[in-house]
Chains A and B, each alone.
Chain A
Amino acid sequence: MVQTMMKNENNIKINVQSSQNVGEEITATNEKNTVFGTNNFNLWYGEHHALKEINLDIKENDVTAIIGPSGCGKSTYIKALNRMVELVPIVKTNGEINYRGRNIFDANYQVEELRTHVGMVFQKPNPFPKSIYDNIAYGPRIHGIKNKKVLDEIVEKSLRGAAIWDEVKDRLNQNAYGLSGGQQQRICIARCLAIEPDVILMDEPTSALDPISTLKVEELVQELKGNYSIVIVTHNMQQAARISDKTAFFLNGEVVEFDNTDKIFSTPRDQRTEDYISGRFG
Chain B
Amino acid sequence: MRYIDDSVVMKRMKTRLNKNKSWKALFLTGTLFALLCLVILLVRIVTQGIGYLDWDFITSFASRSPERAGIKAALIGSIYMMCIIAPVSMILGVSTAIYLEEYAKKNKINDFIRMNISNLAGVPSIVFGLLGLTIFVRALALGKSLLAAGFTMSLLILPVIIVAAQEAIRAVPKEQREASYGMGATKWQTITRVVLPAAIPGILTGSILALSRAIGETAPLVVIGIPVILRFLPDSLLSEFTALPMQIYDWAKRPQEEFLYVASAGIIILMLFLVIMNSIAIFIRNKFSKRY
On A, residues with C-beta under 8 Å from B are: 82, 84, 87, 89, 112-116, 119-120, 122, 124, 126-129, 138-139, 141-143, 177, 188, 191-192, 195
Which of the listed residues B174, B183, B290 has the most CB atoms from chain A within 10 Å of its own CB?
B183
Asked whether, in the complex, the Cβ of A142 is within 8 Å of the Cβ of B184, the reply is yes
B176 at the interface (CB under 8 A from A): yes
Instruction: Please pick, from A82, A112, A119, A195, the residue contacting B186 in the complex, using a CB distance under 8 A.
Output: A112
Instruction: Write the nearest CB–CB distance from B48 to chain A, whole angstroms.
Output: 49
Complex Cα–Cα for A119 and B179 (A): 10
Asked whether, in the complex, the Cβ of A116 is within 8 Å of the Cβ of B183, the reply is yes
Asked whether, in the complex, the Cβ of B105 is within 8 Å of the Cβ of A89, the reply is yes
Knowing that A126-B173, A129-B290 are A-B contacts, what are 20 other residue pairs whose CB atoms are under 8 Å apart, sorted by A's residue number? A82-B182, A84-B181, A84-B182, A87-B174, A89-B106, A115-B183, A116-B183, A119-B182, A120-B178, A120-B182, A122-B179, A122-B182, A124-B175, A126-B179, A129-B198, A139-B183, A141-B193, A142-B186, A142-B189, A177-B292
Given contacts A129-B292, A138-B193, A113 and B184 within 8 Å (CB-CB): yes
On B, residues with C-beta under 8 Å from A are: 105-106, 173-186, 189, 193-194, 198, 290-292
Instruction: Write the nearest CB–CB distance from A2 to chain B, whole angstroms.
Output: 46
Instruction: Please pick, from A84, A116, A142, A191, the residue contacting B193 in the complex, using a CB distance under 8 A.
Output: A142
Complex Cα–Cα for A82 and B181 (A): 10
Could you tell me the dominant secondary structure of chain B's interface residues? helix
Given contacts A89-B106, A122-B175, A115 and B182 within 8 Å (CB-CB): yes
What are 26 pairs between A and B in contact, CB < 8 Å?
A82-B182, A84-B178, A87-B178, A87-B181, A89-B105, A114-B184, A115-B181, A119-B182, A122-B179, A126-B173, A126-B175, A128-B180, A128-B194, A129-B198, A129-B292, A138-B180, A138-B193, A141-B193, A142-B180, A142-B184, A142-B189, A142-B193, A177-B291, A177-B292, A191-B179, A195-B184
Complex Cα–Cα for A130 and B200 (A): 15
Chain B: CB-nearest residue to A116: B184
Which of the listed residues B184, B194, B292 has the most CB atoms from chain A within 10 Å of its own CB?
B184
Instruction: Write the nearest CB–CB distance from B292 to chain A, whole angstroms.
Output: 7
Contacts of B105 in A (CB 8 A): 89
Contacts of B175 in A (CB 8 A): 122, 124, 126
Given contacts A89-B106, A128-B194, A138 and B178 within 8 Å (CB-CB): no
Complex Cα–Cα for A127 and B179 (A): 8
Contacts of B185 in A (CB 8 A): 112, 142
Complex Cα–Cα for A113 and B183 (A): 9
Chain B: CB-nearest residue to A114: B184
Asked whether, in the complex, the Cβ of B184 is within 8 Å of the Cβ of A115, the reply is yes
Which 3 A-B pairs rank lowest in CB-CB distance, beginning with the nearest?
A: A115-B184, A116-B184, A126-B175
Given contacts A124-B175, A126-B176, A143 and B184 within 8 Å (CB-CB): yes
Complex Cα–Cα for A122 and B106 (A): 25
Complex Cα–Cα for A115 and B187 (A): 13
Instruction: Write the nearest CB–CB distance from B192 to chain A, whole angstroms.
Output: 10
Which of the listed residues B185, B290, B292 has the most CB atoms from chain A within 10 Å of its own CB?
B185
Asked whether, in the complex, the Cβ of B184 is within 8 Å of the Cβ of A139, the reply is yes
Chain A: CB-nearest residue to B186: A112
Complex Cα–Cα for A89 and B103 (A): 11
Complex Cα–Cα for A112 and B176 (A): 16
Chain B: CB-nearest residue to A125: B175
Complex Cα–Cα for A84 and B175 (A): 12
Asked whether, in the complex, the Cβ of A128 is within 8 Å of the Cβ of B184, the reply is no
Complex Cα–Cα for A277 and B4 (A): 45
Complex Cα–Cα for A120 and B175 (A): 12
Contacts of B291 in A (CB 8 A): 177
Complex Cα–Cα for A215 and B27 (A): 54
Which of the listed residues A112, A114, A122, A192 has the most CB atoms from chain B within 10 Å of its own CB?
A112
Instruction: Write the nearest CB–CB distance from A14 to chain B, whole angstroms.
Output: 35
Asked whether, in the complex, the Cβ of A126 is within 8 Å of the Cβ of B178, the reply is yes
Given contacts A126-B176, A129-B290, A129-B292, A138 and B183 within 8 Å (CB-CB): yes
Which of the listed residues A113, A115, A116, A124 has the most CB atoms from chain B within 10 Å of its own CB?
A115
Contacts of A82 in B (CB 8 A): 182
Contacts of A142 in B (CB 8 A): 180, 183-186, 189, 193
Asked whether, in the complex, the Cβ of B193 is within 8 Å of the Cβ of A122, the reply is no
Instruction: Write the nearest CB–CB distance from B103 to chain A, whole angstroms.
Output: 12
Complex Cα–Cα for A112 and B177 (A): 14
Complex Cα–Cα for A191 and B181 (A): 13
Complex Cα–Cα for A116 and B178 (A): 14
